[in-house]
Structure 1
Amino acid sequence: MHLTVDVVGEGSQTVALDEGATYADLVRAVGYSVHEVTVLVDGQPVPEDRAVDDERTDVRVLRLVKGG
């Protein structure tokens, strides 16, 4: 499945995910760790172990930790 993800403050990316992928897989696909971001679907946070719903149109990744 292909999904467009808005990384807040950094633009949008289209990622390719396997069927059954989780939001943790999505986070890794956009280049982050689950420890530095939260995923919002339709404005609500989702757990990283939840399966990605390809029917959702508003998927945003909000970076919580920046720098080292």
Structure 2
Amino acid sequence: MDVTVEVVSEDTHEVSVGDAATYADLLAEIDYSPQEVSVLVDGSPVPEDQPIEVDAVQVVRLIKGG
């Protein structure tokens, strides 16, 4: 499955993941930790252990350099 991952206010990635992949797997593909970001589907956060069922997500960074 191909998923478009938009990291809000940064960049967009096209990622290929397996059919049983979770949102945590997706984050690992773009080198983000579930502790530093939140994944949004249609504007709502989703659990990191939930299987991916959409072809586009947004990622919002919760921690940014300071």
TM norm structure 2 = 0.90
Unaligned runs of 5+ in 2: none
Matched, 1:27 2:27: yes
Unaligned runs of 5+ in 1: none
| Structure 1 segment 55-66 matched on structure 2, within 5 A | 56-66=54-64
Q: Structure 1 vs Structure 2: percent identity of aligned residues?
A: 52
Aligned length: 66
CA distance in structure 1 between the aligned counterparts of 2:16 and 2:32, rounded to whole angstroms: 15
Aligned counterpart, 1:44 = 44
CA distance in structure 1 between the aligned counterparts of 2:50 and 2:55, rounded to whole angstroms: 16
Matched, 1:2 2:37: no
Instruction: Report the CA distance between 1:31 and its aligned residue.
Output: 1.2
Structure 1 ranges of 4+ moved more than 4 A: none
TM norm structure 1 = 0.88
